Structure 1
Amino acid sequence: MTTGWSLFVIFLVVLNIGGCAWLLWWTSKRRGDEARNAETTGHVWDGDLTEYNKPLPRWWIILFWLTIAYSVAYLAWYPGMGNFAGTSGWTSAKEHDADKAEADARLAEAFGRFDGMAIDEIAGHPEAVAFGARLFQNYCAQCHGSDARGARGFPNLTDGDWLWGDSPDQILTTILAGRQAAMPPLAAAIGGDIGVTEVTAYVQSLSGIKADPALAAAGQARYAGVCAACHGPEGKGNPILGAPNLTDDTWLYGSDFNSIAEGIRNGRNGMMPAHEPIIGETRSRLVGAYVWSISHGSNEAATEAP
């Protein structure tokens, strides 16, 4: 807050407190004879019910003075007068940090026994899998779905198809460090729209989808010259690059002609953020254990966890 705004806030606070104090002082003066002979407001009901304009009861005034004294003490103890920090040194940031430290200590006590443990080993502990399931719902379900079955452009984590490999270390690396998958636009490299059509037909034929034989045959040569560098000469993919297997029935963006052609023509960019800075290593291991459990058959505890 700038000095000008600070002075403005202080002025408003002092003005309000001073105004309240003056009003109470002026009101408390109207006692004695004036209280006994108080003027009326001119309002009379039922012929004999008259409304008087009398001073406030003394106990009310005392309570108001105590309220003003309390507000002055509060503003001296806590920050509330512009840039004045208060004599207590309290700040919302300090309170947040203290609460966070307390919560982190409780979490460390709960999760600490799983530090450094492999995720397939952690998956053998139902309590750990339950922890991981809750963390998954908080941090991963937005993309992969609450059932971890993914969506278009977001991998299904319950099957056996893995772009970057399904070993415990590979899954953990994916969660900790994130992944950046990029397929460049290839229309110009494979011969324009005709090349895109032919390569699309060939890619469909690799996975057993019915395609025009002549187009697929023409697309095979174009595929071998450009696409095989990442997906392999047989189209089985490369986990090191995150290049998908084109010979199975699992498709991240769809297996219809238009979806495949769109990917070849315009490229694809998939990014999973690194979660170690977000939830830390141990909690990342717990999430990995949950994912491991639902994708490798040991999902009894995982099913009950949410």
Structure 2
Amino acid sequence: MSTAWSWYVIVLVAINIAGCVWLLWWTARRRPGDPAPTETSHIWDGDITEYNKPLPRWWINLFYITIVFSIGYLLWYPGLGAFAGYGRWSSQLEHDREKATQDARLEETFAVYANQPLPALARDPDAMRLGRSIFANTCATCHGSTARGATGYPDLTDQVWNWGGEPEQILATVLDGREGVMPPWEKVLTGMGGEQAMTAIVAYTRSLSQPAAGGDYFAARGKTLYEGLCVACHGPDGTGNQALGAPDLTDGQWLYGGTSEALFASIAHGRHGIMPAHRELLGETRARLVAAWVWSLSNPPANATADNSQ
């Protein structure tokens, strides 16, 4: 708040308080020549009389006490422009204290699960209930309440993991996030053969998960373009690279859609997917619980037991 605005607020508050004091004093006093409280001359039906009696002194004094309290309140709490108040209270400090208290309670609740392997947590019903609750509060906005995702948001219940589906890889994803970038190739491909080049590389990309389409003329031509532009990330056989988050193009699972139009848009304009980091928001133990629950969706209990025994 600027100095000018601060003084504006202070003066406005002072005028309002002074006005309340004056109004209270002015209306409560009796002046010489005022008629008696019973001399209003307002009489109805012969015996119904309106009086003009002042408020009791104790009632007036309560108003004055309220005004004094408001002045003390404004001096102790920040209510006068940029003045921080002698109590140094702020909503931020109040929030931080409350957050610290609640975080301490949460840490006590989650301490039993700290540093436990994800497969072990996946076999603990209480841990899984907590993990699912954390997921519903934190992750369901993007991945859906059933974790099946949507266009642009991966399905967490299948076996497709662009960044790796091992327990520690999933935990790393939750803690530190991921950022996948597919660069736009429209200008490059247009310079290598116009729209036919785009059609060819889309056809070849589709043929990687549909081998029967590999004999198509455009798919055959697209293979040459693919080998010149795409192998660095997706590999010569199209199986992707989990270190880069480059998806496997041979499994028929498409994050942004597998139609020719969707593939055309992905290749022409690129994609930029971000999984935000949750280390600061959740802390490691809660992140471990939600990662264990996510891992359990694609690893039934039998698999979890086998993984732990290795």
Q: 3-state DSSP class of the match of 1:36?
A: coil
Q: Structure 1 stretch 214-223 or stretch 283-292: which is displaced more?
A: 214-223
Q: CA RMSD in A?
A: 2.5
1: CA distance, partners of 2:279 / 2:139: 13
Give the aligned partner of residue 302 of structure 1.
none
In the TM superposition, residue 167 of structure 1 has moved relative to its aligned partner by: 0.6
Give the aligned partner of residue 173 of structure 1.
172
Contact 2:200 2:218 in 1 (8 A): yes
Runs of 4+ in 1 over 6 A off after TM superposition: none
Q: 3-state DSSP class of the match of 2:274?
A: strand
2: CA distance, partners of 1:238 / 1:244: 7
Q: TM-score, normalised by structure 1?
A: 0.87
Contact 1:35 1:55 in 2 (8 A): no
1:296 aligns with 2:299: yes
1: CA distance, partners of 2:27 / 2:66: 16
In the TM superposition, residue 267 of structure 1 has moved relative to its aligned partner by: 1.9
TM-aligned CA distance change 1:31 to 1:128, over 3 Å:
farther
Q: 3-state DSSP class of the match of 2:93?
A: helix
Give the aligned partner of residue 59 of structure 2.
60
In the TM superposition, residue 39 of structure 1 has moved relative to its aligned partner by: 4.8
Give the aligned partner of residue 151 of structure 2.
152
Contact 1:31 1:55 in 2 (8 A): no
Give the aligned partner of residue 290 of structure 2.
287
TM-aligned CA distance change 1:32 to 1:295, over 3 Å:
farther
1:3 aligns with 2:3: yes
1:239-269, CA deviations, whole angstroms, 9 ceiling, x for partnerless residues? 1221111111211111211111222222222
Q: 3-state DSSP class of the match of 2:273?
A: strand
Give the aligned partner of residue 29 of structure 2.
29
Give the aligned partner of residue 135 of structure 2.
136
Q: Structure 1 stretch 274-283 or stretch 154-163: which is displaced more?
A: 274-283
The 5-angstrom pairing of residues 1-306 of structure 1 reads 1-30=1-30, 34=34, 36-37=36-37, 39-40=39-40, 44-187=43-186, 188-189=188-189, 191-208=193-210, 211=213, 213-298=216-301
Q: 3-state DSSP class of the match of 1:234?
A: coil
TM-aligned CA distance change 1:222 to 1:22, over 3 Å:
closer
Contact 2:37 2:52 in 1 (8 A): no
Q: TM-score, normalised by structure 2?
A: 0.86
TM-aligned CA distance change 1:152 to 1:209, over 3 Å:
farther
TM-aligned CA distance change 1:3 to 1:227, over 3 Å:
closer
Contact 2:38 2:50 in 1 (8 A): no
Contact 2:37 2:51 in 1 (8 A): no
Q: Structure 1 stretch 217-226 or stretch 192-201: which is displaced more?
A: 217-226
Unaligned stretches of 5+ residues in structure 2: 303-310
Amino acid at match of 2:273: G
Give aligned-pair identity as a percent: 52
1: CA distance, partners of 2:150 / 2:39: 78
Contact 2:151 2:256 in 1 (8 A): yes
In the TM superposition, residue 43 of structure 1 has moved relative to its aligned partner by: 5.0
Unaligned stretches of 5+ residues in structure 1: 300-306
Q: 3-state DSSP class of the match of 1:296?
A: coil
1:206-232, CA deviations, whole angstroms, 9 ceiling, x for partnerless residues? 212764722222222222232222222
1:155-183, CA deviations, whole angstroms, 9 ceiling, x for partnerless residues? 10000111111111111111122111112
Amino acid at match of 2:169: Q
2: CA distance, partners of 1:198 / 1:102: 60
Give the aligned partner of residue 304 of structure 1.
none
2: CA distance, partners of 1:226 / 1:78: 64
TM-aligned CA distance change 1:186 to 1:24, over 3 Å:
closer
1: CA distance, partners of 2:94 / 2:34: 52
